[in-house]
A and B are shown apart, each in its own frame.
Chain A
Amino acid sequence: MTRSFKIVVLAKQVPDTRNVGKNAMKEDGTVNRAALPAIFNPEDMNALEQALRLKERFPGSKVELLTMGPPRAADIIREGLFRGADGGVLLTDRKFAGADTLATSYALSMALRKMNPDLIISGRQAIDGDTAQVGPQVAEKLGYPQITYAEEIGEWKDKMFTVKRRIENGIEIVRTPVPAVITINASAPVCRPRNAKQLMKYKHARTLTEEHDNEHNSYLPIHSLDTLRITEWSVSDVGGDEESYGLSGSPTKVKKIENIVLQAKESKRLTSSGEEIDSLVKELISLHTIG
């Protein structure tokens, strides 16, 4: 009998910090964080692709997403469903708010105990914090091995997965038993696009909160509840020590935030004409900047 796996992808909804355009800048030159679009964290997308590939390779496997955030983070679960995931859980509760990486990993680990996967895959890091801490911390809390900076999840042999890691100066091939936590680099294959069938099937998938907020009050038909209901869990659903969640469970505190202000220089504008480039190069040579 071939093996199948229960896989959970950890994904985060993040503000898109990569392309801070003019619309997201305040008059004083600082970033208006509220104006940034909320997106599926890019490396979590690479992680989802690895999970979906495993699902194809090992028939009978299931891929679920786990995310923590405000009610609107249900978008992350839907996006995963559209691309081929089988389900997902949104951890949402005011008691989770203000969590640093330690309190976040505690919350995720409590939910994961309930989901009980064979393999946990996440992006290496999220672009709003760039810490790369949550994967290893979840692994520690669950007592699982961790494989960070992974690029490819390879063969399954002798009850071990082969995983290729990409680190600063090269690559490392390791073998790990399951359960394990694997974090995926941006250098891994990009995620497949949405699947039209999945999109049709799940476009009405909703959390209970979303349904209650829906102004048209369009409740899901009873017969579709099982497939279209996105599970929401609060602190009381996952249990654990309340003090370990949110702000009270976070040893690190933000003392100060400084906004970076872009300082404009007196620049000389040039076109790509041959004469202008030529005079620039001559000037640099005469300044001994080049040559």
Chain B
Amino acid sequence: MNNIIVYIETQEGKIADISLELLTKGRSLAKRLGCRLDALLIGHPVTSLRDELFLYGAEMVHIAEDPRLKIYTTLPYTAITISLFKKEKPQIALFGATSQGRDLAPRVSSALKSGLTADCTSLEIGDHKDTKGNEYKDLLYQIRPAFGGNIIATIINPDHRPQMATVREGVMRKEQLSEPINGKVNIINTNEILSDSDFVVKIIERHIEERKIDIKGAQIIVSGGFGVGSRENFRLLFDLAKTLGAEVGASRAAVDAGFADHARQIGQTGVTVRPKLYIAAGISGQIQHTAGMDQSAMIISINNDPDAPIHQIADYAIVGDLNEVIPKIISSYKNNSK
């Protein structure tokens, strides 16, 4: 059986969590299919990262190390990925649904004329019979929300290989093996693949910060939506979060409007959270958002629209103006906590 290849994304010299989540998932898919799990590692320097990949189950690590590949740019990374896929003919190729994976994977899939499913939240193996009666065994079911999150679609790719998918960060768990795999390394000769025309786009400046916001790990989340009204007014949420020892989240509408940073986005196009308390302020409750937080142990909604859908999934639905309610919660908490 042809292998599964996971594209390994590195951020400032470290392997991104999403890539380890994909290797963990890739392990169970490979076991089910009886095939090898490979990792593709591109960058400079990256060779030392291979041991971590073995610990997450990669049996073969393909390494493209070249000073010209220090920082991700589309064209050379695409050239290397395409070249490897043509040679290895993987049946499945997985990428993170990050800005890097979502830049790279579509370009690769276009060149290979294979299909690509974006932002999957679940991957399964299953069979398929089409309307003409053709039967397919062991296809990759690529499961994703669509239509603003109002539907969940299962996408398959019956006739083309690799079956490619990008997968959202944080929806699959990452788990090390107790013992690393005694895997192999394949060094890719970058000089044979890359040409000057792959470097026409130049990066002249970068300001990348280590992610400081830990939404996923927070026990309490105070989250704001479009109803918060402005970036300034989000201060109110930060005040409440500081009082309660919480982290601040945001809906997509609030992020798109520029009220909050993308790293805080919760929902289908952001992170999925399950805190013990979720306070949703000025959030209407579109599925796009609720799919990322409806498993919270307790939900409090604050919205002055009594018909806002968020109230329906809340344990406590406060119908009122968040500008009034939040200061009251803060002062009540200060008076009542020891």
Contact = CB atoms under 8 A, between A and B. Distances in A.
Interface stretch (B31-39, B84-92, B142-150): B142-150
Interface string B154-196: 1111111000000000000000000000000000000000000
Interface in A111-141: 127-137, 139-141
Given A265-B315, A277-B318, A169 B210 contact: yes
A19 B288 CA distance: 10
Interface of A: 15, 17-20, 22, 30-31, 33, 42, 100-102, 105, 127-137, 139-141, 145-149, 160, 162, 166-177, 186-187, 250-260, 262-265, 267-272, 274, 276-278, 280-282, 284-285, 289-291
Interface in B198-227: 200-211, 220
Contacts of B116: 101-102, 133, 252
Given A136-B110, A149-B103, A187-B258, A17 B315 contact: no
B109 interface: yes
Contacts of A291: 333, 337-338
B155 A254 contact: yes
A272 B328 contact: yes
Secondary structure call for the A interface: mixed
A263 B313 contact: yes
Nearest to B130: A253
B117 A252 contact: yes
A175 B207 contact: no
21 contacts: A30-B151, A127-B148, A130-B268, A131-B106, A133-B116, A133-B118, A140-B107, A148-B99, A168-B211, A169-B11, A170-B207, A174-B202, A251-B160, A252-B116, A252-B156, A260-B152, A260-B287, A270-B317, A272-B319, A278-B336, A289-B297
B208 A170 contact: yes
Contact of B119 (A131, A162, A280, A285): A131
Contacts of B149: 17, 260
A275 B207 CA distance: 48
Contacts of B298: 289
Nearest to A18: B148
Interface of B: 11, 73-75, 78, 98-100, 102-103, 105-107, 109-111, 113-119, 128, 130, 141-142, 145-160, 200-211, 220, 244, 253, 256, 258, 262-263, 268-269, 276-277, 284, 286-288, 290-291, 297-301, 307, 309, 311-321, 324-325, 328-329, 332-333, 335-338
Contacts, number: 267
A236 to B, nearest CB: 23
B314 A265 contact: yes
Contact of A140 (B110, B329, B336): B110
A18 B318 contact: no
A278 B202 CA distance: 57
Contact of A171 (B117, B206, B312): B206
A280 B244 CA distance: 14
B308 to A, nearest CB: 11
B107 A136 contact: yes
Contacts of A136: 74, 103, 106-107, 110
Given A265-B314, A271-B320, A137 B106 contact: yes
A252 B110 CA distance: 12
B210 A128 contact: no
B98 to A, nearest CB: 6
Given A130-B148, A263-B313, 8 more contacts: A20-B148, A145-B200, A168-B263, A171-B205, A174-B203, A252-B115, A257-B153, A290-B337
B133 to A, nearest CB: 15
Nearest to B323: A272
B312 A281 contact: no
B158 A253 contact: yes
Contacts of B269: 130
Contacts of B159: 251
Contact of A102 (B115, B253, B263, B311): B115
Contact of B201 (A127, A128, A134, A145): A145
A254 B141 CA distance: 10
B148 A128 contact: yes
B286 A20 contact: yes
B313 A262 contact: yes
Given A136-B107, A162-B204, A174-B204, A260 B320 contact: no
A170 B261 CA distance: 10
